[in-house]
Amino acid sequence: MKILHTSDWHFGHLLYGYDRLGEHRSFVEQLINLTASEQPDAILVSGDIFDTGMPSVPAQQLYTEALIGLHNASPHTMTVITAGNHDSPSRLEVYRRVWAAHNVNVIGTLGRTHNGEIDWQRHILPVADKGYVVALPHIYQQNYPVAESADRLSAFYRNLQAKVEILNVNNLPIILMAHTAVHGCNLAGHRRMQEDSIGSIEYIDLETFGTVYDYIALGHIHHPQTLQGETTARYSGSPVAVSFDENYEHSVTIATIERGKKPKITTHVIDTQHPLLTIPSSPQPFEQALEALSNIDNNCEAYIRLNVLSNNGLPADYNERITLSITGKKCRYCTTNITRLETEHNELKQSTLTPDEFKQLNVGDVAKQYLDSKGIDLELQQRFIKMIAETGKKLSNED
C-alpha cells in the first residue's frame, strides 16, 4: 500500500499579522501535482488542518479546493482527515457525509454508539483490498474512555488493536493515524513546547500504540522525523513553517508499506518563495543587526526576524529605523528577537519581549514568565500552569 502522509497545514495562520494564504495555496498546488504523479492508495492528513477552531472563510475555501483538487488528481485515492488540537472537531465534521461522496473520510471526534460505547469500526477504514487505516483524532488524555485499569490509554489502545486484528483476516498492512507527541521526538521549532514542565504538552510512549501497525502516521510535531521501535512511526511535519524556529526543510512523506516489513519512506520537499529568516544568524548589537538587514537582497521575499544582542532594550525609534532600512525591498519585517549578555555567568539569555513577540504568547507562556519574575519555585509553577492548561482544554472540549 502506498500512502501520502501529511499534517499540520495550519490554514488561516497569520504570521505577525501577515496572511499566509498565498503560501498555503502554493503548497496545495504542489500536493495536488504530487498526488497526480504518485497515485497513492491513500492520503492521510494527521490533524491541525486549520490554525484555529474558527478559521477564516478564505481558509475554509482553500480546504475545500484542496480536497476537491486531490480527488480530481487521483479519483481512486481515499483521503482521511483527522482533527488536531488546533481544529474544532465539530466544525470539521459538519460536512462529513458530503465529503464521503468524494472518497474523503473526516474523523473529528472519538465515535460512540447510541449506548455510549466506543464505535471502533468508525475509526477502522478499509483501503480497497490494500489494507486498513485506523484513524484517530487528537484526544486529550482525560477524554480517553474510563477503564478498569488505572492506565486508560493502554486499555484503549489494547482494545483498538484487538478490534483491528479481528478485521484483518487477510493479513494486510495496517496504518494508525494519531495527532500527539511521542516521548523522544525532536521538538525543534516548538519553542513553547520545549519544556515538559509548562504543562502545555501531553506525551505518549510509542509502545503504548501497540505492535500490530506497520506504520504510524503522526501529526502535531512540525519537525519531520522517523521514530523507530517495534513499529515505524513518522511525523511528516508541517509543509509550511509556522514559526522562525522551524529552520529546517518542510516536506510531505510518501511511504510504501508491506505487511511485516519496514516501510520504504521518501520525502518530497515543499518549495516556498517566502522563507522565514533570522537576520543576522547570531545575535548582534542593534546597529550591526540593522546593517545586516539593510544588506539583504532587494528581491528577497522572506519574512524577517531581527536578531539583536542588547542589555538595554531597543532604541526608542527602532521600528522607524527598521522600516527605513527595508524601504524598496520585498522582504517582510515581522519582529525583533532580543538576547541579553549575562556578564556574571557569561552566557546568553532571552530578555524582555518586544510587543510583537508578546502578542504571539499563549496564556501558559505569560503565566510562566510572570511566575519566574516573582521567584515562584518550579513545583508550584507546574501545578499552577497545569491548572491553566486543563481549564483551556475543558473550554476547547465544550466547543
CA-to-CA separations, 259 to 2, 168, 174, 279, in angstroms, rounded: 12, 11, 8, 48
Three cell numbers at 39?
A: 497515485
* pLDDT the model gives residue 348: 52
Q: How far apart are CA 368 and CA 372, in angstroms?
A: 6
End-to-end CA distance of the chain: 36
The helices-and-strands tally (H runs, E runs) of the chain is 11, 20
Nearest CA among 28, 33, 40 for reference residue 4: 40
pLDDT for the residue numbered 199: 45
- Residue 326, SS3 per DSSP: coil
d(CA 259, CA 213): 9
Cα–Cα distances in angstroms (integers) from residue 256 to residues 24, 34, 74, 75, 98, in the given order: 26, 15, 17, 19, 29
Give the pLDDT of residue 222.
97
Quote the CA–CA distance of 272 and 25 in Å, as a whole number: 11
Task: Report in angstroms the alpha-carbon separations of 142 from 138, 261, 275, 374, 399.
Answer: 12, 34, 38, 31, 16
pLDDT of residue 185: 94
Residue 383 dihedral angles phi and psi, to the nearest 5°? -65, -45
Predicted local confidence at residue 338, as pLDDT: 92
The pLDDT of residue 312 is 85
Give the global pTM. 0.85
CA distance 283 to 281: 7
* DSSP alpha helix (H) spans, the chain: 21-38, 57-73, 89-92, 96-100, 120-123, 152-167, 286-294, 318-325, 355-359, 363-373, 378-398
In this structure, the number of other CB atoms found within 10 A of the CB of residue 228 comes to 10
Q: What DSSP letter does each residue of 327-345 carry, written as one string? A: TT-S-EEEEEEEEEEETTT
Distance separating alpha carbons of residues 89 and 108, to the nearest angstrom: 4
pLDDT at 198: 39
Rounded Cα distance between 360 and 138, Å, is 23
pLDDT of residue 367: 66
Distance CA 248, CA 235 (A): 14
Distance of CA 23 to the CA centre of its chain: 16
Q: What is the mean pLDDT of each run of 10 residues along the chain (399 residues)?
A: 98 96 98 98 98 96 98 97 96 93 95 90 94 97 82 93 95 97 91 49 91 97 95 97 96 96 97 95 96 96 96 91 96 94 54 54 61 55 64 56
Q: Which pLDDT value is given to residue 359? A: 56
Angle at 221 between CA 75 and CA 165, to 5 degrees: 60
Torsion of CA 284, 290, 294, 299, to 10 degrees: 70
Burial label for 149, CB within 10 Å (0-12, 13-18, 19+), is exposed
